[in-house]
Structure 1
Amino acid sequence: MSVWNAIVGQKPTVELLSRIADDPADVAQSWLICGPPGSGRSNVARAFAAALECPSHGCGECTTCRHVLANTHPDVTVLATDKVTIGIDAVRGLIETSEQMPATAPWRIIIIEDVDRMLERTTNVLLKEIEEPAEHTIWLLCAPSAQDVLPTIRSRTRVVTLAVPSQKAVADFLMTTVNPTLPENRRFTDHVAVRAARLSEGHIGIARLYATNERVMTDRDTLIVGVLGLVKASDAVLLADHLISDATAQAAEEVERQVSRDRAEFRRVNGLGEKDRIPPKIRGAYNAIGKKEEVKRRTTRRSRDVLDRALNSVASVYRDVAVLQNHAENTVGLINKENRTAIADLASRLSREAAIERAEAVGVARRRLSGNGNPLLVFEALFCSLIA
């Protein structure tokens, strides 16, 4: 087993980075790993870090590899955020860490996910370290594209650009890597894997979610049918209300599961059984895992992720409309094959200009949502604009 086994559809990049890890004498010390959402850029960064630290250059089985991939290695630091921006204090802390000698491994490696979320003044704090890293430090920055970061960052890093994984690569990953980890009563069929890969449009995390969570897949189907059935404003209002309620419920369930996992891990690390009492000395840390304010913040963030996924699904309808209007189905295929009849009917009723306007309306909704617009009002306005 190799650390690269979980990297989907990125053969050229894997070959490049594994070759460098095998002989890292002249390795670049500042990297920018770019790829669209779901392409696995953060996973590539972790795999590269593991391969650089591993005595066997990424065997995937040694203690070093396991700790790096689990974010528990003392010489590999990962900065991830579920906030809108990465704060300047967090980056200053990373810079202090980067100056320290590695404790057990050849390199001190710093991974920053979503470096595009840095404000310019925060990026300026990072620039000198990226340009002249400490001799023992490697920086791995991740962003959707090179254009999403400041030119000063691009010019100081070696850029690696990931591809959108093919549907076949994603479906194969689901069947060979995800399915075997599930209990037998929760395993999915080839058909489900292929459909999940198609509907995810190359997003590995979403494909995994569709394949393993029947409710999420069903909710997507309901949304597509609702969009295709919009006739009057009341339809739009009802669909928006249903979507927001569903997003909140999904987010609450996800956060509750994560809190349960975090508490179980806390007990394991501290040598406690499932029913053991929490000692007073660590009770505060344990209770902080499910702190009400933190759960509320995480639920809000997760609900925004669900709504962003919904926007992608809505956009896929008008992508399919454009495919049919341009007679390109045999070339690029449809995403929403199950709804082909309704999409073909919509394509016949909309002009090309009207289809483009509706696709652009999805982009407007995305910007309003990212600008902290009221989700219910954002989707009511969007669905009203989609009525044919």
Structure 2
Amino acid sequence: MPVPDVRGAVWADLVGQDRAVDELAAAASDPTAMTHAWLFTGPPGSGRSVAARAFAAALQCRFDGCGQCQDCHTVLAGTHPDVREVVPEGLSISVAEMRALVQIAARRPSTGGWQIVVISDADRLTEGASNALLKAVEEPSERTVFLLCAPSDHPDDVPVTIRSRCRLVPLRTPPADAIASVLADRDGIAEETASWAASVCGGHIGRARRLARDEEARSRRESVLRLPLSLRGFGEVFAAADDLIGAAEAEAADVTGSRDLAEREALATAMGAGGTGKGVASAQRGAKAAERELERRQRSRSTRSQRDALDRALVDLAGFYRDVLVVRVGASVPVTNPDRSLDVSRAAADWTPESALRRLEAVLACREALELNVKPRIAVEAMLTVLYRGG
């Protein structure tokens, strides 16, 4: 059987990261270049989880990532028995979850060559979870590999003790032309739409796809970018806060609603709902604790989804004020929202650079406040007050 051409196979979805792909492909094909722990860093949309998943597939594949064999397909689909991916749905990754994962990771591979653990959003590890992971990374099993993903290698994102034991793979923001090519050539999106989405997505290919395909996503972006010039009084401030928070809650409900219902129905069935006979009453009484735990997890997931939706709106706002500052000082750098050039120019003519900068800082402070669990309404209203007053 001929060896497939693998250079563009499992790595095909990793856009604009040639240097990282070369390093990872070399490690997958050369055992002497391997190490037991890797840390993928980069801004949102750079492809941290995509890179980790592709690397996992290349490690399990006999041809170092052909993209065609069963190992490649099952790893990329998330069903390979020797590859486990932790994607936090709530606000954090708990110590109990990490301890269970570490125990599994210590086992020998059942079918593949490696036992691989992929931790998306490793910056959400609790202190206890980080300590549990550290012990495993310090003394790993011979055929175990940990692939961690985080925005940066800063101690706020990844503890120094863990970072020092990982091989760093930094990813960059993909260029707009590379994103546009993927949308047009691989996803079949019209070139004009692909080019527009790539130019306004901030280098986030997943967001570019949503904007290109989803009319509601485009509508939400338009609503957010109309805010800066629509704040003419405190009435508009409070109305805008209602709109931003309401839109985030609605978006989160769309994402989690059907899944929550399916989970509740599955739990009810497992606990004997509708059943008769001996043991049913006892099982239903025992189901109360399971129901409370499910409700807790669903609330945490809903909160995370709402904050993620709100954060996307804040990123759009930050991009607008950044563009105003760029135009106001005459910087020779690309703008984030080229399709809002008229609004940006109008704002740049009315605001001083200091005022534009204070507004940008208010948006960034709101994002930080939300990460510190400040109530969204308080954080958003405080931000919008600064956006209205300019300082």
Q: Distance in 2 between matches of 1:377 and 1:170?
A: 36
- Which position in structure 2 is the counterpart of 1:158? 167
1:96 maps onto 2:103 in alignment:
yes
- Which position in structure 2 is the counterpart of 1:232? 233
- Which position in structure 2 is the counterpart of 1:35? 42
Q: Is the 8 A contact 1:30 1:131 kept in 2?
A: no
The one-letter amino acid paired with 2:225 is I
Q: Under a length normalisation based on structure 1, what TM-score does the superposition of the two structures give?
A: 0.85
Q: Distance in 2 between matches of 1:196 and 1:66?
A: 29
Q: Is the 8 A contact 1:68 1:76 kept in 2?
A: yes
The one-letter amino acid paired with 1:81 is P
Q: Is the 8 A contact 2:91 2:304 kept in 1?
A: no
1:124/1:298 Cα in 2 relative to 1: closer, same or farther (>3 Å)? Answer: closer
Q: Is the 8 A contact 1:146 1:154 kept in 2?
A: yes
- Which position in structure 2 is the counterpart of 1:196? 197
The one-letter amino acid paired with 1:322 is L
User: How far apart are 1:201 and its partner, in Å?
Assistant: 0.4
Q: Is the 8 A contact 1:10 1:165 kept in 2?
A: yes
1:167 maps onto 2:176 in alignment:
yes
3-state SS of paired residue (1:7): coil
Deviations 1:215-240 (A, max 9, x none): 11111112111222211111111112
The one-letter amino acid paired with 1:92 is R
Q: State how many pairs are aligned.
A: 359
Q: Distance in 1 between matches of 2:247 and 2:129?
A: 36
Q: Is the 8 A contact 1:228 1:343 kept in 2?
A: no
Q: Distance in 1 between matches of 2:220 and 2:53?
A: 32
Q: Distance in 1 between matches of 2:42 and 2:27?
A: 20
Q: Is the 8 A contact 2:82 2:115 kept in 1?
A: yes
3-state SS of paired residue (1:36): coil
User: How far apart are 1:361 and its partner, in Å?
Assistant: 0.6
- Which position in structure 1 is the counterpart of 2:302? 299
Q: Distance in 2 between matches of 1:325 and 1:354?
A: 11
Q: Distance in 2 between matches of 1:294 and 1:82?
A: 8
The one-letter amino acid paired with 1:38 is G
Q: Distance in 1 between matches of 2:365 and 2:247?
A: 22
Q: Distance in 1 between matches of 2:83 and 2:194?
A: 33
1:70 maps onto 2:71 in alignment:
no
User: How far apart are 1:102 and its partner, in Å?
Assistant: 0.3
- Which position in structure 2 is the counterpart of 1:326? 329
1:135 maps onto 2:142 in alignment:
yes
User: How far apart are 1:175 and its partner, in Å?
Assistant: 1.8
Q: For residues 246-257 of structure 1, what are the structure 2 equivalents within 5 Å?
A: 246-256=247-257
- Which position in structure 2 is the counterpart of 1:116? 123
3-state SS of paired residue (2:45): coil
User: How far apart are 1:132 and its partner, in Å?
Assistant: 2.7
- Which position in structure 2 is the counterpart of 1:241? 242
Deviations 1:175-199 (A, max 9, x none): 22333xxxxxxxx422222222222
**Structure 2: any 5+ residue segments left out of the alignment?**
1-7, 267-273, 276-283, 285-290
User: How far apart are 1:261 and its partner, in Å?
Assistant: 10
- Which position in structure 2 is the counterpart of 1:361? 362
Q: Distance in 2 between matches of 1:161 and 1:136?
A: 24
69-78 vs 224-233, which deviates more? 224-233
The one-letter amino acid paired with 1:91 is M
Aligned mate of 1:144, from 151, 154, 161: 151
Q: For residues 171-182 of structure 1, what are the structure 2 equivalents within 5 Å?
A: 171-179=180-188
Q: Is the 8 A contact 1:75 1:109 kept in 2?
A: yes
Q: Distance in 1 between matches of 2:262 and 2:210?
A: 17
3-state SS of paired residue (2:84): strand
Deviations 1:269-318 (A, max 9, x none): xxxxxxxxxx98xxx9xxx9xx7765554333222111000000110111
User: How far apart are 1:260 and its partner, in Å?
Assistant: 9.3
Q: Under a length normalisation based on structure 2, what TM-score does the superposition of the two structures give?
A: 0.85
1:7/1:219 Cα in 2 relative to 1: closer, same or farther (>3 Å)? Answer: same
- Which position in structure 2 is the counterpart of 1:377? 378
- Which position in structure 1 is the counterpart of 2:223? 222
- Which position in structure 2 is the counterpart of 1:317? 320
1:24/1:228 Cα in 2 relative to 1: closer, same or farther (>3 Å)? Answer: farther
Q: Is the 8 A contact 1:35 1:145 kept in 2?
A: yes
Q: For residues 10-25 of structure 1, what are the structure 2 equivalents within 5 Å?
A: 10-25=17-32
Q: Is the 8 A contact 1:24 1:52 kept in 2?
A: no
Q: Distance in 2 between matches of 1:87 and 1:174?
A: 36
The one-letter amino acid paired with 1:362 is V
